[in-house]
Amino acid sequence: MKKLDETLTMLKDLTDAKGIPGNEREPREVMRKYIEPFSDHVTTDGLGSLIAEKVGLENGPKIMIAGHLDEVGFMVTQIDDKGFIRFQTVGGWWSQVMLAQRVTIVTSKGDVTGVIGSKPPHILPPEARKKPVDIKDMFIDIGASNREEAMEWGVKPGDQVVPYFEFTVLNNEKMLLAKAWDNRIGCAIAIDVLKGLKDAEHPNVVYGVGTVQEEVGLRGAKTAANMIQPDIAFGVDVGIAGDTPGISEKEALGKMGKGPQIILYDASMVSHKGLRDFVTDVADELDIPYQFDAMAGGGTDSGAIHISANGVPALSITIATRYIHSHAAMLHRDDYEHAVKLITEVIKRLDAETIKTITFN
């Protein structure tokens, strides 16, 4: 493996951490380790979202930057007599990316390696071979001889099952391949924004937040926002990269390396016009590249945050990412660094008067 710099080491630690919805302890501890040095106070809400507070001006406007800690994965639901594991998807999965993939079952006795299996195509009738295998017909094989052996190894219903993949810097060193970019990249952005504000003067109270259970309904964003009651919020997440073969610009505009995506519209929210204009004005002023995108489906933590309390002007800023909701996704380091710079510079320019103007724009 190539020698990793400080940023890449953080990204590796975040993406290597295992944490499906409801099991975010490990990525939360990694995020805490990296964000605590740049925070005045770190706490959690009752559901487990991490909230790191950095005070620029006491009682100043509250700015929330939310990335979610959880990744898509699976949960053990039962073990059959022969020791094969039945499972439930946790978060959205496309069956075609699952078969023959290695997974890790996190048990109270340690990690257990398995592989997702199904009936081999050789014994299927010709018509069945042409169809994708249903998730309900898949199982996890851990090499156990029977149920008792699997249980001896610590496997039990409710255990989380996490995709296995090794963080990799590709030959083009800007291209980074890992599991769980959705959405440890958002957590990394929150960490680095607080780092960028460490010695900067700004008249706000900034919250870097790692939310829980985004993949099953934006749940942690709702509880964290109710606890913080922000004046402005940014949901930072992955977006669709529309630059692979077969995708037209009509389907997806985003391209890796062309800057963070400013989301105009998705299934969870219409972006706040005043905040969107303010952010793009700052980007134009500083020559920070960005691109617009809109999605008919999907959503980010902004969707829950913007309808919390009395309503919060919110904007989703995303990183164009290939192959999300699979074992391995790819993104471009420049997009990440430009997103950090953009959000940091926006916060430096926010104050109570500016937020009042934004809110009613």
Q: 214 catalytic, yes or no?
A: yes
Six-digit token pair at 93?
């999965």
Question: Does 138 map to a domain?
Answer: yes
Last residue of a domain, one of 108, 135, 163: 163
Q: What is the CATH number of the domain that holds 283?
A: 3.40.630.10
Same domain for 60 and 82? no
Same domain for 291 and 212? yes
DSSP 38: G
Same domain for 250 and 125? no
Distance between CA atoms of residues 343 and 314, nearest Å: 13
Alpha-carbon radius of gyration of the chain: 21
DSSP 322: B
- pLDDT confidence of 125, banded at 50, 70, 90? confident
- Number of domains composing the chain: 2
Helix (H) or strand (E) holding 116: strand 110-117
Q: What is the CATH number of the domain that holds 107?
A: 2.40.30.40
- pLDDT confidence of 127, banded at 50, 70, 90? confident
**Region 272-285: what's the mean pLDDT?**
97
Question: Does 173 map to a domain?
Answer: no
Question: Does 168 map to a domain?
Answer: no
Question: Does 92 map to a domain?
Answer: yes
Same domain for 127 and 37? no
CA atoms within 13 A on the CB side of 163: 28
**In the chain, % of residues over pLDDT 90:** 91
Structural contact between residues 20 and 74, judged by C-beta atoms closer than 8 angstroms: yes
**In the chain, % of residues over pLDDT 70:** 99
- Supply the pLDDT for residue 123: 82
pLDDT one-digit tens code per residue, 183-215? 999 999 999 999 999 989 899 999 999 999 999
Domain that holds residue 149: 73-163
Question: Does 238 map to a domain?
Answer: yes
Nearest one of 103, 36, 108 to 72, comparing CA atoms: 103
Q: Is the dihedral of CA 70, 190, 5, 239 positive or negative?
A: positive
Same domain for 330 and 225? yes
Question: Does 90 map to a domain?
Answer: yes
Number of residues written out for the chain:
361
Six-digit token pair at 55?
């005070």
| Single-letter code of the amino acid located at 7 | T
The one catalytic residue in 214, 337, 345, 353 is: 214
Distance between CA atoms of residues 213 and 220, nearest Å: 6
Distance between CA atoms of residues 239 and 252, nearest Å: 10
Same domain for 280 and 196? yes
- Supply the pLDDT for residue 120: 85
Task: Return the number of other C-beta atoms located less than 10 Å from residue 150's C-beta.
Answer: 26
- Supply the pLDDT for residue 129: 82
pLDDT one-digit tens code per residue, 167-179? 999 999 999 999 9
Six-digit token pair at 335?
């997009």
- pLDDT confidence of 252, banded at 50, 70, 90? confident
Structural contact between residues 121 and 129, judged by C-beta atoms closer than 8 angstroms: yes
pLDDT greater at residue 64 or residue 132: 64
Same domain for 214 and 158? no
- pLDDT confidence of 1, banded at 50, 70, 90? low
Same domain for 133 and 60? no
Span of 25-34, 107-116, 129-138 with lowest mean pLDDT: 129-138
Structural contact between residues 288 and 342, judged by C-beta atoms closer than 8 angstroms: yes
Same domain for 192 and 220? yes
Question: Does 174 map to a domain?
Answer: no
pTM of the model: 0.96
Task: Return the number of other C-beta atoms located less than 10 Å from residue 113's C-beta.
Answer: 12
pLDDT greater at residue 157 or residue 129: 157
With a CB cutoff of 8 Å and minimum separation 6, the contacts of 361 are 273, 274, 277, 278
- Supply the pLDDT for residue 296: 84
Same domain for 191 and 153? no
Same domain for 82 and 59? no
Last residue of a domain, one of 163, 195, 219: 163
Same domain for 326 and 216? yes
* Average predicted confidence (pLDDT) for the chain: 96
Distance between CA atoms of residues 196 and 124, nearest Å: 57
Structural contact between residues 257 and 332, judged by C-beta atoms closer than 8 angstroms: yes
Question: Does 232 map to a domain?
Answer: yes
- Taking each helix axis as running N to C, give the angle between helix 273-286 and helix 333-348, from 0 to 180 degrees, rounded to the nearest 10: 110
Secondary structure (3-state) at 172: coil
